[in-house]
Amino acid sequence: MLEKGTKAPGFALPDKDGNIVNLSDFSGRKVVLYFYPKDNTPGCTRQACAFASAYDRFRQLDAVVIGISKDSAASHIKFAEKHSLPFILLSDTELDAIQKYDVWKEKKLYGKTSMGVVRTTYVIDENGIIEMVMPKVKPDTNAAEILEYLTKGE
């Protein structure tokens, strides 16, 4: 995991429409950057839908929500359309950002070991510094926890 107070690694990844999105595009704004294992799986769908439900509140706080997985742009299109996801989904098929943010880990499921994305959320401040790290987040509460964190000073 990357640590609070460190510079967030830059990335340039395609969104679901094939547009290249850079972290630096959001300089001056807070970024909620969440990494998730796979489109259209139960936990990832619940997490994405929770962010979608809270999206207007994130916008009011001028926070950008970005979800990253190793799924293809085509998979992201289907996922976003099926669940009306209004925020940015980025495709990291080469594991560039996934590895830079140290979320590609060994996982065990049913006694089988494999490599995969560990569900993790970072809050990046207006200057590109990581201000919060949430490892192994719960899909159902992640969006609410981030909103609580972002509004604690209001």
CATH number assigned to the domain comprising residue 70: 3.40.30.10
For the segment 84-97, what is each residue's pLDDT rounded down to a tens digit? Answer: 999 999 999 999 99
Give the CA count within 13 Å in the CB-facing half-sphere of 47: 28
Instruction: Work out the percent of the chain whose per-residue pLDDT is above 90.
Output: 92
- Tell whether the model's pLDDT for residue 153 goes beyond 70: no
Does residue 99 lie within any of the structural domains? yes
Does residue 108 lie within any of the structural domains? yes
**Predicted TM-score of the model (pTM):** 0.95
Q: Work out how many domains the chain is built from and give that number.
A: 1
Instruction: For residue 44, indicate whether it is catalytic.
Output: yes
Task: State the DSSP string of 89-121.
Answer: EEE-TT-HHHHHTT-EEEEEETTEEEEEE--EE
Does residue 122 lie within any of the structural domains? yes
Does residue 5 lie within any of the structural domains? no
What's the DSSP call for residue 15? B
Please tell me which residue in 8, 44, 97, 118 is annotated as part of the active site.
44
- Tell whether the model's pLDDT for residue 34 goes beyond 70: yes
The whole-angstrom separation of Cα 120 and Cα 87 is 17
The whole-angstrom separation of Cα 100 and Cα 1 is 9
Give Cα separations from 16 to 8, 12, 37, 70, 81 (angstroms): 22, 13, 16, 12, 10
Does residue 1 lie within any of the structural domains? no
| Per-residue confidence (pLDDT) for residue 107, from 0 to 100 | 86
For the segment 60-78, what is each residue's pLDDT rounded down to a tens digit? Answer: 999 999 999 999 999 999 9
Question: What is the mean predicted confidence (pLDDT) over 43-48?
Answer: 96
Does residue 2 lie within any of the structural domains? no
Which range marks the domain in which residue 105 is found? 12-151
pLDDT band at 154 (very low <50, low <70, confident <90, very high): low
The maximal CA–CA distance of the chain, rounded, in angstroms, is: 46
Does residue 4 lie within any of the structural domains? no
Average pLDDT, the chain: 95
For the segment 101-141, what is each residue's pLDDT rounded down to a tens digit? Answer: 999 999 887 888 999 999 999 999 999 999 999 998 999 99
pLDDT band at 1 (very low <50, low <70, confident <90, very high): confident
Does residue 30 lie within any of the structural domains? yes
**120: buried, middle or exposed (CB in 10 Å: 19+, 13-18, 0-12)?**
buried
The whole-angstrom separation of Cα 132 and Cα 37 is 20
